[in-house]
Structure 1
C-alpha cells in the first residue's frame, strides 16, 4: 500500500513537473521562431535592395556574406522550431510525431548544418574584413563576387557532408533532454565513430570562433592604425574616425555575442564527451531516487539545454549585430550631426560657402546611413 502511494506520488510529481516545464518552455521556441523570422527577413530584404543598387564589388561580396548568413539562420529557425513546438503539443512524447525515428535524424542534421554554417560564415566575413583593411589593394584587385559565391558554396557543401555522417553510420543523433530536440550524442561509445564525430563538431566550432576573434582583432588594430594616420581637422578625417569607431564597436559586439552564445555549448560538449555522458540519459533518471550521480547528471542536462538555447539565440542576434543595429545607429548619428550643423547655422556664423558645404555634408550623411561594408 505504501509502495503504491509512493509510486503514485512520484507519477503525479513527474506529471506536474512535465506540465510546468511544458507550459513555461513552449513559449521559448515560439518566441525564437517569430523573432528569428522577423529579424532575418528584414536583413534579407535590406540586403536584396542594397545588392541591386551597389556596383562596388567589395560591397557586393559583403552583402552576399550577410545575405547567406541571414538565409542560413532563417532556414535553421523554420526547419527546427516547428518540430519542437509539435513535440510540446504532443505532451513531450517524440514517438507520437516520429515513430520511425527519421525525423530525429533530420533534426540533428539541421542542427549540425545550420550551426556550423553560421560559425563558418562568421569566420569567412571576419577574414574578408581583415583582408580588406590590412591589404586593400590586393583585396580590390583579386576579390571578386564569383570568388565569394564559390566560397559560400564550398562552406555549405562541406558542412552538409559532415552533418550527414551519422546517416552513413559514423556518429549518432539522439533525442536530448527534455525530449523535444535531437542532436549529436556525446556519451554513446558503442556507435562507430560517434566520439570522433562529436569531438570534431566541437573542435571545428571552437576553431571557427578562434579564427573569427583573431581576424576581428586584426581588423580593429588595422582600423585604429589607419585612423591615426588620417587624423586631422578635415571633414574626411572626422568621417573616417566616426566610421572607425562604429566599426570597432560593431566588431566588439560580434565577438561578445559569438563567445556568449557558442562557448558554453562547445566547452560542455567536450566535457560530456570526455566523461561519456549524454543528455538523453536524463530521461531515465526522472523516476529514480535522487543521489549525487543523478543530481550531477541532471545539472549537466539542464545546462546542456540552456547552452543549446543560447547557441540558437545566435540565429536571432546575427542580423542585428551584423546589419540592422548598425543601420539604426548610423541613422541616429546622422540625425544628431545634422541637428548640430543646423544649430550652428542659426548662430549666424555661416556663409553661402558654408551652407553649400552643409548641404554636401547632409548628402554624405544620407549615403553613410545606407548599409556599409566593413
Structure 2
C-alpha cells in the first residue's frame, strides 16, 4: 500500500505556494492508496472581516438622508427652494440611492460567507451605483461651493442672473454627466469587477487596456478636481467674509449686528466642515485609484476596501453637514452659547458681590430676581 504525502500547495499556474499552518488528514482511495493532505487553518486575508460596519453604514446613511429629506420638505416654506436647498435636495436623494442600492448586496454576500449572488448583472448594478452616486455627490458639493462663491463675490449677478431655470439645467447636467460616466464600464470602457474580499464591485483599477486606464485616470482626475475646486472657492469665500467683518467693525465702532455676525459664523463653520469631510473621505479613494492603475505602489487589497468605505462615509455624513449644521441650527447654538456664558458670568458676579458690604450696590442684574441684603430673593 502506497502512502502519498502533500506538504505544499500548488497554484493553478504550477507555482508552489508557501506552507501554511494546519493539520494532516489521511484519505484512503478506492485502490487502497492513502492520501495524506494538509488542511490549512491559517485564515486568509479578509476572511474575518465583519459585516457590522457595512450594516451600520447602511442604517446611518439611510436614516440620515431620510431625515434630511423630511427636514427639507418641512422647512420648504422658509427656504422656498432656493438654489442652495435645491442642491441639498438633489444631494440627499443621490446619497440615499448610492447607499440603499448597493450596500444590501454587500450585506448579502457577507451573510452567505462571501459567496457572490446574482452574477455579473448584480456586479454591474453595484458598481454603477458607486460610480454614479460618488461623482454626483462630489459635483454637487463643488456646485454648492460655486453657489456660495458667486453669492459673496458677485451678489448682483447672483441675484439677477441665476434663475430657477438655470439651476434646474445645472442639476440635470450634473446627473446626466454622472450617469454617462457610470455607463462607460458597461459599454466596454474599463470593466466592473468584484473587489476584495469578494463582497463588492467597482471598476477595474488594474486594467492593462488603454481604454481601461483612461477611465481610471478620468474618474480619479475628476474627483481630485472637484476637491481642489471646493478648497479654492471656499477659501476665497472665507477670506471675503473675514474682510467684510473687519470692515463692519471699523464702520460701526467695533460692534456688528447679531444677525449678520451669526450668519458669518455659520458660513465659516459650514465651509470648513465641508472642506474637511470631502478632503478626508473622498480624496484617499482618488489617490488610491491612481496608485493602483499606475502601479506606483504595492497592491493592498485591504487598503482599497478601507478607502472605499471611507468614501461611502462621506455620503453618510452629508445630511448631517448640510441639514443638521444648517444656518438656523448654528444661529441657535451661538445664541444658546452666549446665554450660557452670560449666565455664568452673572452668577460669578453675584458670588463675588456676596463679599461686598451692604449698600454699595450690585453690578449684575438677573431675570430670576435680585438678592436682598439679608440673603433673601425678591421675585
State the TM-score bracket (shorter-chain normalisation).
0.7 to 0.9
Mapped to 2, the partners of 1:112 and 1:77 lie a distance apart of 12
Secondary structure of 1:33 counterpart? helix
Equivalent in the alignment of 1:182: 201
1:346 aligns with 2:371: no
- If the length of structure 1 is used for normalisation, what is the TM-score? 0.78
Equivalent in the alignment of 2:263: 243
1:209–1:259 contact (8 Å) kept in structure 2: yes
Equivalent in the alignment of 1:29: 54
Mapped to 1, the partners of 2:198 and 2:39 lie a distance apart of 18
Equivalent in the alignment of 1:65: 87
Listed one character per residue, the Cα deviations across residues 105-128 of structure 1 (whole Å, up to 9, x for unaligned) are 111111110000000000000000
Q: Where do 1:212-223 residues align within 5 Å? A: 212-223=230-241
Mapped to 2, the partners of 1:244 and 1:2 lie a distance apart of 73
Equivalent in the alignment of 2:102: 80
Secondary structure of 1:91 counterpart? coil
Listed one character per residue, the Cα deviations across residues 160-203 of structure 1 (whole Å, up to 9, x for unaligned) are 0111011111111111111111111011214x611111110000
Mapped to 2, the partners of 1:127 and 1:213 lie a distance apart of 11
- If the length of structure 2 is used for normalisation, what is the TM-score? 0.77
Change (3 A) 1:129 1:30: same
Unmatched tracts of structure 1, length 5 or more: 278-295, 349-374
Q: Where do 1:1-374 residues align within 5 Å? A: 1=5, 3=7, 9=22, 12-13=40-41, 20-21=48-49, 24=50, 26-55=51-80, 60-94=82-116, 97-99=117-119, 101-190=120-209, 193-231=211-249, 232=252, 237-275=257-295, 296-297=298-299, 300-326=300-326, 327-338=328-339, 346=366
Q: Higher relative contact order by CA 8 Å / sep ≥ 6: 1 or 2?
A: 1
Greater fraction strand: 2
1:117–1:156 contact (8 Å) kept in structure 2: yes
Secondary structure of 2:202 counterpart? strand
Secondary structure of 1:92 counterpart? coil
Mapped to 1, the partners of 2:82 and 2:225 lie a distance apart of 27
The alpha carbon displacement at 1:322 in A equals 2.1
Change (3 A) 1:259 1:48: same
Equivalent in the alignment of 2:29: none
2:102–2:125 contact (8 Å) kept in structure 1: no
Mapped to 1, the partners of 2:296 and 2:190 lie a distance apart of 14
The aligned length equals 319
The alpha carbon displacement at 1:262 in A equals 1.3
Listed one character per residue, the Cα deviations across residues 77-124 of structure 1 (whole Å, up to 9, x for unaligned) are 110110100100111011xx123x111111111111000000000000
1:51–1:60 contact (8 Å) kept in structure 2: no
Secondary structure of 2:317 counterpart? helix
Unmatched tracts of structure 2, length 5 or more: 10-18, 23-37, 347-363, 369-379
Secondary structure of 1:3 counterpart? coil
Change (3 A) 1:44 1:83: same
Greater fraction helix: 1
Secondary structure of 1:183 counterpart? strand
Change (3 A) 1:18 1:54: closer
Secondary structure of 2:205 counterpart? coil
The alpha carbon displacement at 1:138 in A equals 1.4
